[in-house]
Chains A and B, each alone.
Chain A
Amino acid sequence: MRTKFTSIIMAGGGSSRMGADKALANIHGQQSIQYLADFLNVYTDEVIVSGNSDAYHMNGVKVVPDAETGRGPLEGLHTCLTEAAHEYTIVVSADMPLVDVATLENLKTSGKGCVYRRGEYLMPFPGYYPKAMADVAKQQLQSNERSMHAFIEKCSFEVLEAPNDDTRLMGFNTPEELGNIVSNTVRLQFYGKLTEVCAGDNHLMYLPEHRSISNVMVQVVDRFPEIGQLTTRQANNGKVLNNDQEVEPGILDIMPPFSGG
């Protein structure tokens, strides 16, 4: 039987450098947190949002405020691991809206926890956290040690090396960093049967260096292989693309064969 997973979206940060709630940041007409919630609802069996805002209430998610406030992400993680319905959890951060299923699948390497390291920097999220680690988190919080890094070391996590240029692990802390994501990404919108077959992975995609539609579609098909079997048409920001035109940041419509009439 397939192992069931809970996913946890960490949205409780202070967003002090951003000046506004990062989870609700607008990226091509959709909030950062919504990109994650949409595909995690299909990819996993339960979605929990760690945070205190009413704005996090979305279809299919359970919002869990910290049991005690002001104690950082480890408190939020502890509360959500305790609430999780399943033994294994995938934890992502609401300010890293580009993670995809392949990034998360890599983390499921063993029964232990697993996170990425980029150079010297250990990234707590996205991560694979067994629910049983809630007890370790609780003990650590009781001794007033709030560091996520200390927690990861204590639990002997497996650590995967992430390439420096992996845009799927890109996050934002400032309006400038958010602007960089907005100006280099497309929100994929699917139609017809693709609404079903493409629901299980992230619709926010960082554009490749060469942005011709054929090059962009190679990347789209890599993420959504079912599209490769269909002849699709594309539109970018409301205009149909022809003759291998360049894709601009914004909305990229992927349309399967039409079937009106």
Chain B
Amino acid sequence: MKSTIAFIEGPISPQNVTQHLAEVSGNTEVGGIDIFLGNIRADRKEEGEVTAIDFTKHETLAQAGLEAISQEIAAQFDVQHVVILHSVGHVKAGELCMAVITGCKHRKDAYASNIEIVERLKKEVPIWGKELLEGDRHVWKENTK
């Protein structure tokens, strides 16, 4: 299995996503590709509207956590090619902060493995989001859904 795991400073550009998509698409072992993109939503909270999120991570355990998930997913599904990108630093509302691309022989593995990576990333990888609100305030992001 080929894999690309990277933390990107700031937002993930759509051009970056399409470059990775082209690599997965060019893999002739791949018959189905699923893509999940996480976008910063201008969430309306009691304290105010979210204008951006500042992401931080554990310097070593975040990368190790993504690599472990990638390897375990490869053992669980027939994955030929996986790309996992996540932002660190400042990402404004309306910008991408996460991209997961799974390339598999067949579509069902592509769907299922992609969902599994996204769900496990949210639960298991030491990344934290500080939601910046209008008026110079902030709250800490919680993954509840």
- Specify which of A235, A238, A258 is in contact with B127 (CB 8 Å cutoff): A258
In the complex, what's the smallest C-beta–C-beta distance from A45 to chain B, in angstroms?
22
Q: A259 to B61, Cβ gap below 8 A?
A: no
Answer whether residue A179 sits at the interface, using C-beta atoms and an 8 A cutoff: no
* Complex interface residues of chain B between 69 and 125 (CB less than 8 A to chain A): 86, 97-98, 118, 121-125
Say yes or no: B61 contacts A260, CB within 8 Å: no
Is the contact region of chain A dominated by helix, strand, or loop, or is it mixed? loop
Q: Are B86 and A260 closer than 8 Å at their CB atoms? A: yes
- In contact, A260 and B58 (Cβ under 8 angstroms): no
**Contact call B61/A258, Cβ cutoff below 8 A:** no
Which residues of A are found within 8 Å of B141, using beta-carbon distances? 259
A-chain residues with CB within 8 Å of residue B127 when the two chains form the complex: 258-261
Complex-state Cα separation, A13 to B140, whole angstroms: 43
Given A258-B127, A261-B38, residue A253 in contact with residue B58 (CB < 8 A): yes
Q: Which residues of the other chain, A, contact B140 by a CB distance below 8 angstroms?
A: 192-193, 256, 259
Residue among A256, A258, A260 with max Cβ neighbours from chain B (10 Å): A260
Assuming the contacts A192-B140, A193-B140, asked whether A258 and B60 have C-beta atoms less than 8 A apart, the reply is: no
B98–A191 contact, CB under 8 A? no
Q: A259–B98 Cα gap in the complex (Å)?
A: 12
Task: Decide if B56 touches A258 in the complex (CB within 8 Å).
Answer: no
A257 to B128: give the CA distance in the assembly, Å: 8
Nearest first, the 8 closest Cβ-Cβ pairs linking A and B are A260-B127, A192-B128, A193-B140, A259-B141, A261-B122, A259-B129, A259-B143, A259-B128
Chain B interface residues toward A at CB < 8 A: 38, 55-58, 60-61, 86, 97-98, 118, 121-130, 140-143
In the assembled complex, 5 residue pairs joining A and B whose CB atoms fall closer than 8 Å, in A order, are A191-B56, A192-B128, A193-B128, A193-B130, A238-B61
